[in-house]
Structure 1
Amino acid sequence: MKKVYSLLMIAFLLLLTACGSNATGGKSSDTKTLKIGALYPLSGDLALLGEESYRGAELAVEEINKKGGIDGKKVELVKADAPDADAAQSEANRLVNQENIKAIVGSYSSSISFAASEVTERNGVLYWELGAVSDSVTDRKYKYILRTNPPASYFSKVNIDFIKNVVAKKLGKNVGDLKVAIAHEDSTYGTTIAEEAKKLAKTEGVNIVTTQSYSSASNDLSSVVLNLKKAQPDVLIAVSYLNDAVLLARQSEELGLKVPVFIGNGGGHTMADFKDAVGNLANGVFDVDFPQYNINREFTPGMDEFLKLYKEKYGKDPRSGHSLSNYMGMKVVLDVLSKVGEVDPDKLKEAALKYTAKEGTTPTGWGVEFDAKNGQNKDGQPYVHQWVNGQLDTVWPENVAVKEPQINK
C-alpha cells in the first residue's frame, strides 16, 4: 500500500511540474504577442496629461496591429498606473518581476520616469521615455534607457533663443536691456527648465531680474505675483501645471501685473483647459512645448492621420500635444522592434542606436538620432506657440510656423 501511495505522489508531482513548465514569472508564455509595459499616471493629480500621453502610445500600437502587427505578432501594451514616484517603483517591479516585461514605455512625469527607470536599469529592462523632460532622466547615462522627446534644457534654449532672436527685436530693445523674470513650480520639471534658462541667459547676456519658485499645489500666488510686479519685467518665463497656470493668470490680473511678453512652458499653458478657464487672459500668451496642431503640415507628415485616429477612437480632438509626442515616440519604438522581431533589451538598444530619421519626416517634425552615451534623441526640439483668438498657433521657428509672433509693446 505504501508503495502504491508513493507512486501516486510521484505521478502527482510530475503532473504539477509539467503544468508549470510553460510558466514564466507566474504568467503563461504567449508566442503570438509582443508585450511592452506602459507606465503612466492614469489616476491622481497627473492623470489628465498622463492619460493623454498614454493615448498616443495606444494609438500607435493599434495602428500597427491593424496592419498585421510585427512578423504576424500582435503588440500588446501592459498598462501600469503610476500616480507618483513610489507607485512608479512598485509598478515597474510588478511589470518586470510578475509580468515578465522586458521593455517599458512611459511616462509624462519626470519624477515617475526617474523612479521607474531605476528599477528597469537594475533588472536589465529597456525603458523608453516618450514624454518626461527632466535632463536627469538621461544624465545618469544608464545602459537601458532611451528618450525620443526633447529634455528640459532644450526648452530652456528655445526660450532664450526666442527672446534673443524675436522678442528683443519686436520690443525694439537690445538683448542686454531686456528685463526677464522666471516663475516656476518647484518640482523637477519646473526647476530644471528654470535653472537651465538662468545658465543660458548668463551666457547669452540676457538679464534675469528675479526668479520666483512655488508649489504647484498652492492656492495663493499673490506673493509671487507681487514680487514679479516689483521687478517690472519685459518678459516672464513661466513653468506651470494647469491649476497653478490658471491661478497665476487670474491673480496677475487681480493685482495689476502686466508683462509685455509672457512665455509659458508646456504643462498648463498648452492645454485648452487653460484657455477655457482664463478666457481672454490667454490671448497673446506664448508657450514653448512639444508640437501642437496648428502647425506647418509639410514639416509634420502623418499628423493628419494621427488626428483622424484620435477622433475615431476617443470621439474628440486631442487635449494637448502630449498624445502626439507619445504617438511619434511609440512609432519609433515599433519601428525598432520590427527590425529586431523580439522584445530583447540588448538587441533593441543596439538597433535603436543605429536608427535614424530626418527632421520633417515624422508627425512631430522631429528627427531621430540617439546619443550612444546617454540614450537621448538629439534631433527633437520644442516649438514656440501662441494663443490667438482661442487657438494655439505655432509661431516659431519659421519652418513649423503658421503665423507670425504677435507682441504688443
Structure 2
Amino acid sequence: MKRKALIAGVALVLVAAALVFWVARRPSVTIGAVYPTGGGQGPGGVEEYRGLTLAADLQNRDGGVQGHTIDIHLKAADSADAAPGAVQALDAEGAKVIAGSYGSTISFPAAQAAYNRGLDFWETGAVGDLGMLATDVPPPYLGSSVFRFPPAGTVLGSSAVDFVSNQLRSSLPNRPLRYTVAYVNDAYGAEVGQGALDEIAKQGLTLAAKIPYDLQHADYNAIVDQIAAAKTDVLFVASYIDDAVSMRKAILAKHVPLVANIGTSSSYCLPAFGEQLGQQAVGLFASDKPDGDILKASNLTPEAASALEWGRSEYAKRYGGTMTAAALTGFAGGWALFHHVLPAARALTPNAIAAAARSMQLPMGSLPNGSGLAFGAPGSSGAGENLRALSVIWEWTAPNTRSVVWPPAY
C-alpha cells in the first residue's frame, strides 16, 4: 500500500510539474496597461490595475486565450502628458491592446495615442470625454478601435438628475424645483456635467445655473454664492475629492437651503469623501459604479457570479478588505476583454480584436459587476460606449456609511 501511495504521489507531482512547464512554455499575448500609480489619481489607478491583473490571472487559470497566456505590461502615467509615451513604450513591447486608465484626463490622450499607432484601447474605468464634446460627429476611433467598458460620464450625469426628478420627487417640496450644475471644467467634469444638463433639458426641468470652474483657481465661497443667488433647490456636482469637500463645507457655512445634493464618481461616492466630511456627508447622493461587496449573485449569470466570488476572495487574500469600485470595474472590464472578446477574435491582432468587441451582445448580469456588453456602432451617438454598463445611486445614510438605493435590485 505504501509503495502504491508513493507511486501515486510521484505521479501527481510529475503531472503538476508538467502542467507548470506547459503553462510556462505556452506563448503569451501582451496586454498593455496605462494607469496612474502616483499623484492624486494614483490610489484609484492602482486599484483598477489590481482588478485588471486579477481578471488576467483568472483567465490564465482557466487556460488563457487561444493557447496564449495573458501577460500584462504596466507603464505608469500619472498625468495626461505621460500617456502617449506610455502607449509608445507598450507598442514597442508588442502590445496589441492597451487597457486603462482610471483617470479621464489620462484616458483621452492614451486612447488617441493607441489609435494613432494602430492599437486597440480598452477603457476599464474612466468616464470622461473621449472626443465627443468637441464635435457633432463622433471621432473615427470611437467604436472602431476605442471602447469604453464602464458607463460614460454623460450617463452618470443623466442618471443622477433622473433619480432626483423621478425617484426622490415624492419626498421633495411639491413645486417646480430649480437645478444647478457645478462641474470641474476638464475631460471628466465637462462630460458628466453635460449629461446632467442634457437630462434637465430633456425632462423640461428648470436650470437655475450652470457653473463650470477651474480646479486650480477655484474660489469655493464665490461658487457657493452663485449657487445661492440662483435660488438652487437641487445641486448636481461633478468634482474631485478636495473641491467637493471644500464646496460642501462652504455650502454648510453659508447655510444654503438645498433640498437635494447629488454628485458622481470621483468624489461623492468615494469612502474618503465620507471620511473627511463625517456627519456633513449624510443625506448626500452619488451616481457611480457599484462596489464589489454590494452585488447579489442572483442578479448575475452563474458564470459571472462564479468569477465575482473568485475575484472577491482573491482580492481579500492579496490586498485585504473588499473590492472597491475601481478594483471591480478593472476586474469586470478585464474579464470582459479576456474571457469574452479575445476568445471570439479570429486572430490576436488589433483589427480582429476590435471586430470581436463590436460583435459582443451580452445581456445585463453577464459580467461580474452586473453589466452586459454591447458597444455603440462607429458613427453613432454612443460610438464605442458600452450601452449595457451598470450604474447605481449611492446615499450616505450615516457617518462613513454608504448604501445603494437605486436600482432596487441592488
TM-score by length of 2: 0.84
Counterpart Cα distance in 2 of 1:66 and 1:131:
24
The structure-2 alpha-carbon separation of the partners of 1:294 and 1:80, relative to structure 1 and needing over 3 Å to count, comes to same
User: 1:181 deviation in Å?
Assistant: 1.3
Structure 2 counterpart SS, 1:189: helix
Counterpart Cα distance in 1 of 2:125 and 2:262:
20
Structure 1 counterpart SS, 2:256: coil
Counterpart Cα distance in 1 of 2:124 and 2:347:
20
> After superposition, what is the alpha-carbon deviation per residue over 1:41-63, rounded to whole angstroms, capped at 9, x for unaligned?
11222212111211111111122
> Which stretch shifts more, 74-83 or 139-148?
139-148
Gaps of 5+ in 2: 1-24, 133-137
Query: Which residue of the partner structure matches residue 155 of structure 2?
Result: 154
Query: Which residue of the partner structure matches residue 105 of structure 2?
Result: 111
Q: Does 1:65 align with 2:60?
A: yes
Counterpart Cα distance in 2 of 1:354 and 1:380:
16
Counterpart Cα distance in 2 of 1:59 and 1:164:
38
Q: Does 1:334 align with 2:362?
A: no
Q: Letter of the 1:160 partner, please give it.
A: V
Q: Letter of the 1:89 partner, please give it.
A: P
Query: Which residue of the partner structure matches residue 90 of structure 1?
Result: 85
Contact persistence 1:295–1:393 (CA under 8 A): no
Counterpart Cα distance in 2 of 1:340 and 1:179:
49
Task: Give matches, 1:15-164, under 5 Å.
Answer: 32-96=27-91, 98-137=92-131, 139-142=138-141, 143-164=144-165
Q: Does 1:357 align with 2:362?
A: yes
Contact persistence 2:158–2:198 (CA under 8 A): no
Structure 2 counterpart SS, 1:363: coil
Q: Does 1:392 align with 2:402?
A: yes
The structure-2 alpha-carbon separation of the partners of 1:379 and 1:241, relative to structure 1 and needing over 3 Å to count, comes to same
Query: Which residue of the partner structure matches residue 298 of structure 1?
Result: 298
Contact persistence 1:154–1:381 (CA under 8 A): no
Counterpart Cα distance in 2 of 1:165 and 1:72:
50
Structure 2 counterpart SS, 1:287: strand
Counterpart Cα distance in 1 of 2:368 and 2:289:
11
Counterpart Cα distance in 1 of 2:253 and 2:111:
43
Query: Which residue of the partner structure matches residue 18 of structure 1?
Result: none
Gaps of 5+ in 1: 1-29, 401-409
Counterpart Cα distance in 2 of 1:396 and 1:135:
25
The structure-2 alpha-carbon separation of the partners of 1:328 and 1:117, relative to structure 1 and needing over 3 Å to count, comes to same
Counterpart Cα distance in 1 of 2:255 and 2:273:
20
Counterpart Cα distance in 2 of 1:108 and 1:95:
18
Counterpart Cα distance in 1 of 2:48 and 2:78:
13
The structure-2 alpha-carbon separation of the partners of 1:244 and 1:361, relative to structure 1 and needing over 3 Å to count, comes to same
Query: Which residue of the partner structure matches residue 271 of structure 1?
Result: 270
User: 1:87 deviation in Å?
Assistant: 0.5
Q: Letter of the 1:211 partner, please give it.
A: K
Larger Rg computed on CA atoms: 1
Q: Letter of the 2:72 partner, please give it.
A: L
User: 1:361 deviation in Å?
Assistant: 2.7
Q: Letter of the 1:129 partner, please give it.
A: E
Query: Which residue of the partner structure matches residue 366 of structure 1?
Result: 371
> After superposition, what is the alpha-carbon deviation per residue over 1:314-349, rounded to whole angstroms, capped at 9, x for unaligned?
12333x312111211110110221233753111111
TM-score by length of 1: 0.84
User: 1:260 deviation in Å?
Assistant: 2.1
User: 1:239 deviation in Å?
Assistant: 0.9
Structure 1 counterpart SS, 2:164: helix
Contact persistence 2:128–2:188 (CA under 8 A): yes
Contact persistence 2:239–2:263 (CA under 8 A): yes
Counterpart Cα distance in 2 of 1:215 and 1:298:
44
Counterpart Cα distance in 2 of 1:105 and 1:137:
18
Contact persistence 1:34–1:74 (CA under 8 A): yes
> After superposition, what is the alpha-carbon deviation per residue over 1:106-142, rounded to whole angstroms, capped at 9, x for unaligned?
0112221211121221221111111121243573231
